[in-house]
Structure 1
Amino acid sequence: MNAKTRIAAIADIHVQVADKNKWTSFFREVSEQADVLIIAGDLTDTGDENEAGVLAEELKACSIPVVAVLGNHDYEKGRQKLIRRTLQQAQVHVLDGEAVTVKGVGFAGVKGFGGGFDNYMLSMFGEEAMKAFVQEALDEALRLDRALAQLDKQPESDKKIAILHYSPIKDTVVGEPEVIYPFLGSSRLAEPLIRRQVAAVFHGHAHAGTLEANLTPDIKVYNVASHVLQKARHTSPFYVLEV
């Protein structure tokens, strides 16, 4: 029987330039309680590479592998490539349509996008701006599928974990105003997760959302936005799942 891997997860940490030494104790604690750390987007507050530089310095206190995706905040200034490069230089696996296997667990990650859920998904109809919005969600779902497909070719990936910033289901954004649901995620992300039989999904973005829900009876989705963990009075500042 394979040994279990403890995966810690958090999202929406929104690191600022003034946050020097703020996260050191967090990364030390998570290193003691888990084998891998997931950060599911919004690593920086305003999408500035200097904020990513502060995070890279703070991560020196982290002694376990870190796997992350970027979030909408990380795209704010159009410097997402610089942010990604800064964190990769700090040995963070920043996934953007790619996959990586760490400690026998396969991780596939994309940012994701909005578009709404279930019968209320936006459709590819109308103005070009609307079609472009929907196309972005479709493209992200395709990139997620390709990343998961990479793990299917890696026999050492005993379990598959998906990392997103936007939610693939409505249930983990419940708590947010319904009028903004289309901007919090998209059901288009759900299909590859089900077909590729992931073990679990982590996301953030919906700060007032719900901690966990089921995509299928066998697939749990976790909204690990730091605000959600605090609201749920979670016993730790991060969520830990054993797989």
Structure 2
Amino acid sequence: MGKSADKIRFAAVGDLHVNKDAAGTLRAFFAQAASDVDALLLCGDLTDYGTAEEAKVLVDELALVKVPVVAVLGNHDYESGTPEVVVDALTHAGVKVLDGEAVEIEGVGIAGAKGFAGGFGRGSLGAWGEPAIKMFVQEALNEAMKLESALAKLRTRRKIALLHYSPIAGTVEGEPVDIFPFLGSSRLEEPLLRYPVDAIFHGHAHRGTMEGKTISGVPVYNVAKPLLARSRPNEPPFRLYEIPRQ
């Protein structure tokens, strides 16, 4: 089919959970996802435990991808306490890892941050009580500020936000209600209301809902690979998104 002359195409997926035994299992998937698109977007939990060994496997699996790759990390990429080894491996392979930064692809601005938990709406955890609670809430605020900083840097007409945690409850519905507070935070939605984008992509909620909208009506896509594979068994587990070229 080839790249489109009148549309900019992105393929988005998260929650790959690459482990040391994944060598050779994702190359065809990445080749298919990157075929006929302008960029590949990765929404965190790229590795299972965030080790250097897993990061090397991931980079090797991405080796045949010839389009730009933009990524954010997820909570699993922090599990070993050394997320920098995942970032370094990806960066050396040419992947742009966003953590409060922005990048432009084919005239489309992409702002990215990992995000964090804390709950949604009236169920959001407040910074009151023990120091540990205040630290937890502050982490959510810090991630929201990272996202806002990235969004503020964009000067393009068309914009995309890349996260791991969800900014809305709508795309985590399907998960047990008890764990909603650990799947995202409304605090991530606030900067997206101040700095509007065309679309938002996240992962993390493997049993969530594929699509939702912010308060302002912006589409939010949950692109967790396990969710896409289960919800669309006859389609490849990534989301294609198109923006008209101006």
C-alpha distance in 2, partners of 1:146/1:4?
A: 28
C-alpha distance in 2, partners of 1:201/1:4?
A: 18
* Displacement of 1:125: 0.5
Question: What's the C-alpha RMSD, in Å, of the aligned pairs?
Answer: 1.2
Identity of aligned residues (%): 52
The question of 1:197 aligning with 2:196 is answered yes
C-alpha distance in 1, partners of 2:163/2:32?
A: 24
**2:175 equivalent in structure 1:** 176
1:44-103 Cα distance to aligned partner (Å, 9 max, x none): 011111111111111111111110000000000111011101100000010011100011
Give the 5 Å matches for 1:164-243: 164-216=163-215, 218-233=217-232, 235-243=235-243
TM-score normalised according to structure 1 size: 0.95
Give the 5 Å matches for 1:1-243: 3-151=6-154, 154=155, 157-216=156-215, 218-233=217-232, 235-243=235-243
**Deviation beyond 3 Å, 4+ runs, structure 1:** none
* Displacement of 1:191: 0.9
* Displacement of 1:3: 3.4
* Displacement of 1:233: 1.1
Q: Is the 8 A contact 2:11 2:34 kept in 1?
A: no
C-alpha distance in 1, partners of 2:64/2:98?
A: 21
TM-score normalised according to structure 2 size: 0.94
Q: Is the 8 A contact 2:43 2:73 kept in 1?
A: yes
Greater shift, 227-236 or 38-47, is seen at: 227-236
The answer for unaligned runs of 5 or more in structure 2 is none
The answer for unaligned runs of 5 or more in structure 1 is none
What is the identity, as a one-letter code, of the residue corresponding to 1:241?
A: Y
More helix by share: 1
What is the identity, as a one-letter code, of the residue corresponding to 1:164?
A: L
